[in-house]
Amino acid sequence: MITVNGESRTLEKPVTVTEYLEACNYVPVQVVVELNEEIIKRETYDTTVLKDGDVVEILQFMGGGSC
């Protein structure tokens, strides 16, 4: 069981951050991931495995605004 953006999620098997993002239709280069209150480097998404009790926040960039 992990918590993602405040909601509990059950993982069927251990997955990396990249695998989780792709399974949820996120584009890894368009998000920032906070794992257990620390922003993790995008270069580590492929090697960081989510485990029971982890708290994940996924922040997605949005376009818009004016100059």
Q: Residue 30: name the closest of 14, 40, 47, 42 by CA.
A: 42
- CB–CB of 21/58 below 8 Å? yes
CATH architecture, domain 2-60: Roll (3.10)
Average pLDDT over residues 20-27: 94
CA distances from 19 to 12, 43, 53, 66 (A): 12, 14, 18, 34
C-alpha Rg value of the chain to the nearest Å: 12
Tens-digit pLDDT profile for residues 33-64: 999 999 999 999 999 999 999 999 999 877 66
Domain boundaries, the chain: 2-60
Region of 44 (left: φ > 0; alpha: ψ -120 to 50; beta: rest) is alpha
Indicate the pTM of the whole model: 0.87
